[in-house]
Amino acid sequence: MYNRGIRGATTVINNDKQEILDETVVLLKEIVDRNQFEPEDISCIWITMTPDLDAIFPALAIREMEGWNMVPLMCAVEAAVQNSLPKCIRLMIQVNTTKSQQEIKHVYLNEAKRLRPDLVISE
């Protein structure tokens, strides 16, 4: 068994509490769906947001999901880099798995698809 990192990112249109919570859940569910793991398999999740998002901690959305209340979560502010993608939420999930790095499916949604077009799955 290995501890692998799974990356994901999404964007919101507004610095709005409900929108941040909703998009965080959509992103996490898509990562879980594509990689087929359970909360028990997770070592921890790092969550970052760009500095223009400060309405709410996105970890709250994950904490309220059934079965996710014991997963260690940490929120932080993404580095403020000139011309970087605005209103972006990123997840770094450390999961225990037998999958190789090549089998891991990273997820980029909304405008965050621009961050890693090489990893975006055609819909």
pTM exceeds cut of 0.85: yes
CA 87, CA 85: separation in Å to the nearest integer? 7
Which residues are catalytic, by number?
Answer: 7, 63, 75, 78, 90, 108, 116
| Predicted confidence (pLDDT) per residue in 34-76, tens digit | 999 999 999 999 999 999 999 999 999 999 999 999 999 999 9
Provide the H-helix boundaries in the chain.
17-35, 59-63
Q: Is the four-CA dihedral 22, 27, 29, 30 of positive or negative sign?
A: positive
What is the rounded average pLDDT for all residues in the chain?
95
Per the listing, tokens 């898509």 go with 30
| Predicted confidence (pLDDT) per residue in 96-123, tens digit | 999 999 999 999 999 999 888 787 775 5
